[in-house]
Structure 1
Amino acid sequence: MTFLLASLPGKNRNNIKSLLSNHQVFVDGQMTSQFNFKLKPGHVVQIGGERPTTTHAPVKNDLSIIFEDDDIIVIDKPAGLLTIATENEKSRTAYHALSAYVKSAHPANKIFIVHRLDRETSGLLLFAKNLHTQQVLQQNWEEIVTERTYVAIVEGLVPKDNGTITSYLHENNALVVYSNQNPKGGKKAVTHYKVIRRSKTNSMLEVNLETGRKNQIRVHMQDLGHSIINDKKYGATTNPIGRMGLHAKRLSFTHPITKKNMQFQSPNPKKFLLLFCKSHQ
């Protein structure tokens, strides 16, 4: 109950009891209706949607599969792991690990990129298992995806409890994205945020993407004057937890083939929670 109340700020105890009694809560793929179920580090909690066909299955590179069917795979990517290969790193990627995983079932099996998370961002990431599904997802992404929510830990105390940042994002020759109000040559980006915790030195935000642009959250937090911790590329000067403070927490979408509503949630990284626990000691 404590975890669900903290993770679902829009829900009260009665709402959560209803989710439990209606069999809408799964822990590592197993339904639970107990409000006092004891969670352990590493457990994956899913709210609503379909029951996963896998049970937080571990794959190479500390990557875990949250859901898999004939058409899609949803994974929980650790921080520090690339989504796809770069010139400097070919094998230690989520794509490479999943490709090996599906080929272990049949050598002809393939995996297809749908969207990406930055190397230092952890959390939920969706892949297609065939070209048709990939095309449906990429061509109809704005209509299919109904929620992409992140948790961001930023430097300093954000004064407003909630707000919206709107700008146009541009990318320079050094591959650095920057923000301004000039639409010419830029892509419109809209980010909604609300503060869920504050410590003496940091704020934890829940960030919801209305648009999904490259480095959007990172740039918009810099615009806000509160860069994401350990994000040196976009203005950060502190690194209190040894990683960047950005986690893809919730992902909701319409299944591209079955048309069912899919909802997935990844718990906040332990380092995120410990940072705020320590600040109150």
Structure 2
Amino acid sequence: MEWTVEEEDNLLSSLGKKYPDSSKATLRKMVAEGRVVVGRAVATSPLHPLMRGQKVKVLAKKSFLEGDVKLLYSDKDIAIVDKPYGLLTVATDFQADKTMHALLKRHFPKARVFPVHRLDQDTSGLLVFALNEGARDFLKEEFEKRRPKRRYLAVVEGQPDPSEGEWRSYLREDANYVVKNTSDQTEGKLAVTHYKTVKRGRTFSLLELKLETGRKNQIRVHCQMAGVPVVGDKKYGSTKNPFHRLMLHAFELTLNHPKTGKSMKFESAVPEEFYSI
């Protein structure tokens, strides 16, 4: 359910008007489970003040994997998860068990679980996994043809100039696994990121970013290139980290279902600290 606040109120009161048959304990539990979003941020208090014109959304009740990792959707073909920051997408030489891929394989022991795209370990947000080979092949082709839509939020140091636009460059990875811009088109792969400034603070800015391509570390490198590194990203130029995490979150994913062809849109509630700049 989603609605626009018509007059000043608090969250618990507003929820009570929309869910008159639910007890206050049930409504408080909705908030505690992270299911209530005000604007784009997850509400953390049932007494959160609401202003006229604000959007309130109650998300569907979620399933959980090990470690309270959210499973937002699943059927016989795909699984959509909300990856927390700090968790690897797939196994590395140093870590095999504590990955998003491993969690899903344990949750779906009878399925073949295939990663289709990835998020960096310290980036949070939406990922889709295929649960059979047919779905994997379909989704890989979709991503190669740039059909899925992916939107991110990032808190960056400083302010981009201009405040919105497009970053376009060729990227290559060096021997130390650092991705860099290159002018040699035969050496690098084209990367295109669309961005706009959502909010400006004294020290930081909140950017909304849309990927046209999906290269490794693309957003992080493009932000560094523009002189506005992602907060907490020491690898790509950040010098500040008051939030104690990489401030990059994949909040929206739209894709076509591999069996039905139906367009499906998924959203991840944005951590509240992204709006506290």
Q: Please tell me the TM-score bracket, short chain as reference.
A: 0.7 to 0.9
Q: How does 1:34-73 map to 2 (within 5 A)?
A: 40=31, 42-43=34-35, 55-73=61-79
SS of 1:165's equivalent? strand
Specify which of 59, 78, 88 is matched with residue 84 of structure 2. Answer: 78
- Structure 1 residue 87, shift from structure 2 partner: 1.1
- After superposition, the C-alpha distances for 1:99-137 in whole angstroms (9 at most, x for unaligned) are 11112xxxx322111111000000000000011110111
- Structure 1 residue 257, shift from structure 2 partner: 1.2
Could you tell me whether the CA contact under 8 Å between 1:144 and 1:255 is conserved in 2? no
Identity %: 41
What is the identity, as a one-letter code, of the residue corresponding to 1:247? H
What is the identity, as a one-letter code, of the residue corresponding to 1:150? Y
Specify which of 191, 207, 218 is matched with residue 209 of structure 2. Answer: 207
Stretches of structure 2 that go unaligned for 5 or more consecutive residues are 7-16, 20-26, 38-58
Q: How does 1:109-188 map to 2 (within 5 A)?
A: 109-143=111-145, 145-188=147-190
Partner Cα distance (1:89, 1:134) in 2: 24
- Structure 1 residue 44, shift from structure 2 partner: 6.7
What is the identity, as a one-letter code, of the residue corresponding to 1:92? K
- After superposition, the C-alpha distances for 1:70-124 in whole angstroms (9 at most, x for unaligned) are 1000000000000011111111111111111112xxxx32211111100000000
SS of 1:145's equivalent? coil
**Structure 1 runs, 4 residues or longer, greater than 4 Å off:** none
C-alpha change, 1:129 and 1:74, in structure 2 (3 Å) is same
Partner Cα distance (2:216, 2:31) in 1: 34
Partner Cα distance (1:239, 1:170) in 2: 26
C-alpha change, 1:179 and 1:100, in structure 2 (3 Å) is same
Specify which of 195, 198, 212 is matched with residue 197 of structure 2. Answer: 195
Could you tell me whether the CA contact under 8 Å between 2:146 and 2:212 is conserved in 1? no
Specify which of 230, 250, 258 is matched with residue 228 of structure 1. Answer: 230
Partner Cα distance (1:109, 1:209) in 2: 30
Bigger Cα Rg: 2
- After superposition, the C-alpha distances for 1:158-199 in whole angstroms (9 at most, x for unaligned) are 342211100000111111100133312110011000000111
- Alignment of 1:96 with 2:102, yes or no, is yes
Partner Cα distance (2:62, 2:260) in 1: 22
Partner of 1:25: none
- After superposition, the C-alpha distances for 1:216-238 in whole angstroms (9 at most, x for unaligned) are 00000001100001101101111
Partner of 2:52: none
Partner of 1:28: none
Could you tell me whether the CA contact under 8 Å between 1:144 and 1:253 is conserved in 2? no
Partner Cα distance (1:44, 1:206) in 2: 21
- Structure 1 residue 267, shift from structure 2 partner: 1.4
TM-score by structure 1 length? 0.78
- Alignment of 1:261 with 2:263, yes or no, is yes
TM-score by structure 2 length? 0.79
- After superposition, the C-alpha distances for 1:251-280 in whole angstroms (9 at most, x for unaligned) are 00111111001001111112223x32xxxx
Could you tell me whether the CA contact under 8 Å between 1:137 and 1:144 is conserved in 2? no
Partner of 1:245: 247
Could you tell me whether the CA contact under 8 Å between 1:156 and 1:202 is conserved in 2? yes
Partner Cα distance (2:134, 2:111) in 1: 14
SS of 1:229's equivalent? coil
Stretches of structure 1 that go unaligned for 5 or more consecutive residues are 6-12, 15-32, 46-51, 277-281
